């Protein structure tokens, strides 16, 4: 399925949609942004921030205002370097989101769930000097493996977060959180502008 042509929803909200260049600049400057995928896919909004910019305040904002699952998007080579197995050997989920086992930093955390602890786990996981020995499983951070080839291969939030961080000259990783409305339904573009 190709997504080259904007859908009806995207055309109607063109003024509210930032250019790729603006989003890359936001990423480069550590500003969180909302990424909405195509209306023919999930059509959901995620809060996104480059992983190296994921402070405790950013994680807390995601938990409080995003309300969804907070995940760490990583390229395949980093997933492999950390020795993280995929959660399912045969992925049958609708969009084939590649969850690995959940993780926690081995040191510098308490229970693992606080915003500080999750930010610490993210920092350890993206640090190329850290190894599988620096990570414990299971934990309170949910890594997602981005496909090689990025959004050109899979048009998902996972790949977009990695690609945008890379294009911004940052560590090719991101922290994402689905945005839920107050009633528990998923936020779509019209509710996010």
CATH code given to domain 8-192:
3.90.870.10
What lies within 8 Å, CB to CB, of 178 at 6+ separation is 44, 45, 46, 66, 67, 68, 69, 186
Instruction: Please report, for the chain, the start and end positions of each structural domain, with discontinuous segments joined by +.
Output: 8-192
Q: What is the pLDDT of residues 114-167, one digit of tens each?
A: 999 999 999 999 999 999 999 999 999 999 999 999 999 988 999 999 999 999
Separation CA 166–CA 159 (nearest Å): 11
Q: Output the pTM of the full model.
A: 0.90
Q: What is the pLDDT of residues 41-98, one digit of tens each?
A: 667 899 999 999 999 999 999 999 999 999 999 999 999 999 999 987 776 666 668 8
SS3 74: strand
């Amino acid at each position: 399925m190709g997504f080259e042509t904007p859908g009806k929803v995207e055309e109607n909200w063109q003024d509210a949609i930032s250019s790729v260049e603006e989003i890359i600049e936001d990423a480069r400057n550590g500003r969180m942004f909302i990424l909405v995928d195509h209306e023919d896919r999930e059509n959901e909004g995620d809060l996104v921030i480059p992983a190296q910019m994921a402070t405790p305040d950013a994680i807390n904002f995601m938990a409080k205002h995003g309300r969804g699952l907070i995940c760490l998007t990583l390229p395949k080579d980093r997933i492999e370097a950390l020795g993280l197995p995929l959660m399912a050997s045969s992925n049958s989920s609708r969009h084939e989101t590649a969850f690995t086992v959940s993780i926690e930093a081995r040191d510098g955390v308490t229970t693992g769930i606080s915003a500080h602890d999750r930010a610490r786990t993210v920092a350890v996981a993206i640090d190329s000097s850290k190894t599988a020995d620096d990570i414990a499983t299971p934990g309170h951070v949910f890594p997602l493996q981005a496909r090689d080839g990025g959004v050109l291969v899979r048009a998902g939030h996972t790949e977009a977060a990695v690609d945008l961080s890379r294009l911004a000259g940052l560590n090719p990783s991101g922290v994402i959180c689905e945005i839920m409305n107050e009633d528990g339904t998923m936020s779509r573009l019209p509710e996010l502008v």
